Amino acid sequence: MLRYLIKKLYIYILTFFFAVTIDWLIPRFMPGDPILVLVSRFSGLPESAKVMYGYLIKAFGLDLPLWKQYLNFWIALFKGDLGISIYMYPKPVLDVIAQAIPYTLVVLLPSILLSWIVGNYIGAVAARHRSLDSSMLPIFYILTSIPYMWLGILLAWALGVVLGIFPIAGAYSFSMRPNWSWEFITDFLRHWILPFLSLFIVQIGGWAIGMRNLIIYELEANYSRYLEALGASEGLIRRYAFKNAILPQITGLALQLGTIVAGSIATEVVFSYPGVGYLLLQGILNQDYFLVQGTFLFIIIGVLVANFVVDILYMVFDPRIRLSLGGESV
């Protein structure tokens, strides 16, 4: 058990190193000068621009040798300093991201968990009834083929514009300020539902397909046959199959967090939802390298932490891991 955790931790730490290095490395080897961009925002005399440029280069430590910059980057990271955002100057990147995180989580987490529950359930149903299966399986595949942003666009158009039921931009109405009043909460939910649905509907397809395949595999396994030969009811066999099939789906949750980042970003862009993905987009459009770097880092950390949590959960549920037999195939 401990061996399993240590092995996983080891990979995550290595990954973290790798990701941070890439994050630090790439901007410095690409053409383009962020300081120039920053300076250009402060229109003034060319003389003062030069001074400002020199000052900012020093301030951002870009005059130091590369290895020192790399080291400083790590030190700053551990101090929680992700730099100053250019787009939102002079707000620290950390603050900008911290403000956006709740909005991402509130759409992302429910969509992942609910689609997992519903998708697995529907997949299990399809696995049990072959007749339902032949009509439902193609639908699952089509669902999982839909690009996230397209579904978002369609929902925005159909339910937001044509039917006018839901708003299609922002997390709450312009006129409001975040608070705990009932008014705000309903307004917030109305803005929340379409982004949530865009992510929820597409993910169902993937889970359903996976669960369906896993359950069929379990139902055809030798232990299921043995139970049936000894007179067990369909119900007991299905219960065993389900419990065994759900295990890889738990691992799937960890992997899903990585892939859903793409969907989250796309959806936030469609609905101008002020989450981390939207921030990333703004950073790119405004060439705010520090914001882009910081956001990337945050996404990586989030994914790694979530992966680790899921790995622990999996260990709790699969006795083969707990008793440290090399059963895990992930």
Partner 1 sequence: MTNLIQIERLRIYYKTLHGDAKALDDVTFTINDKEILGIAGESGCGKSTLGNSLILLKPPMKYVSGEVKINGEKLPIDNNTEMRRYRYKKISLIPQYAMDALNPTRKIGGIIRDLVGQHKIKYEEIEKRLHERLNMVKLSKDVLNMYPFELSGGMKQRLVLVISTLLNPDLLIADEVTSALDVSSQKAVSLMFKEFRDREIVNSIIFITHDIAVLYQIADRIVIMYAGKVAEIGPTEEIIANPLHPYTKALIKSLPNAGIRHTKEKLEGIPGHPPNLINPPAGCRFRDRCPFADENCLEEPPLKEINKGRLVACWKVKDL
Partner 2 sequence: MKEFVHFALKNTKFKIGLVILLFFIILAIIGPYISHYKDPLEYVSMSNLPPSRENWLGTTTFGQDVFTQFVYGLRSTFFIGLFGGGLATIIGLLIGFIAGYKGGLLDDLLMMLTNILIVIPTLALLIIIAAYLPYRGIGIQSVIIGLTAWPWTARAVRAQTLSLRSREFVNLAKITALRPLKIVLEEIAPNMMSYVVMVFILQFAGAILAAVGLDFIGLGPTRGISLGLMMQYSVLWNAIQLGMWWWFVPPGLAITMIVSSLYFLNIGLDEIFNPRLREE
Kindly tell me which of 10 and 226 has the beta carbon lying closer to partner 1: 226
Q: What is the DSSP letter of 92?
A: B
Closest CA to 241 of 139, 120, 118: 120
b/e burial code for range 192-223 (CB count within 10 A of at least 16 → b): bbbbbbbbbbbbbbbbbbbbbbbbbebbeeee
217: phi then psi, degrees, rounded to nearest 5: -60, -45
**Count of residues touching partner 2 (by CB under 8 A):** 54
What residues contact 100, with CB distance under 8 A and at least 6 apart? 274, 275, 276, 278, 279
What residues contact 223, with CB distance under 8 A and at least 6 apart? 240
84: phi then psi, degrees, rounded to nearest 5: -105, 135
Residues 247-266 that bind partner 1 (CB under 8 A): 247
Kindly tell me which of 127 and 149 has the beta carbon lying closer to partner 2: 149
Closest CA to 66 of 9, 100, 27, 34: 27
Site string for partner 2, 9-38 (x = CB under 8 A): --xx-xx--xx--xx--xx-xxxx------
List 10, 18, 42, 226, residue binding partner 1 (CB under 8 A):
226
Rounded CA-CA distance 178/193 in Å is 17
Residues 206-225 that bind partner 1 (CB under 8 A): 221-223, 225
Residues 300-319 that bind partner 1 (CB under 8 A): 318-319
b/e burial code for range 139-155 (CB count within 10 A of at least 16 → b): ebeebbeeebbebbbeb
Query: With binding defined as CB under 8 A, does residue 164 bind partner 2?
Result: no
Query: With binding defined as CB under 8 A, does residue 81 bind partner 1?
Result: no
Kindly tell me which of 18 and 226 has the beta carbon lying closer to partner 2: 18
Kindly tell me which of 88 and 237 has the beta carbon lying closer to partner 1: 237
Instruction: Return residues touching partner 1 (CB under 8 A).
Output: 221-223, 225-233, 236, 240, 243-244, 247, 318-320, 323, 325, 327
Rule CB under 8 A: which residues touch partner 2?
11-12, 14-15, 18-19, 22-23, 26-27, 29-32, 138, 141-142, 144-151, 153-154, 156-157, 160-162, 168, 255, 257-259, 261-262, 265-266, 269-270, 280-281, 284-285, 292, 296, 299-300, 303-304, 307
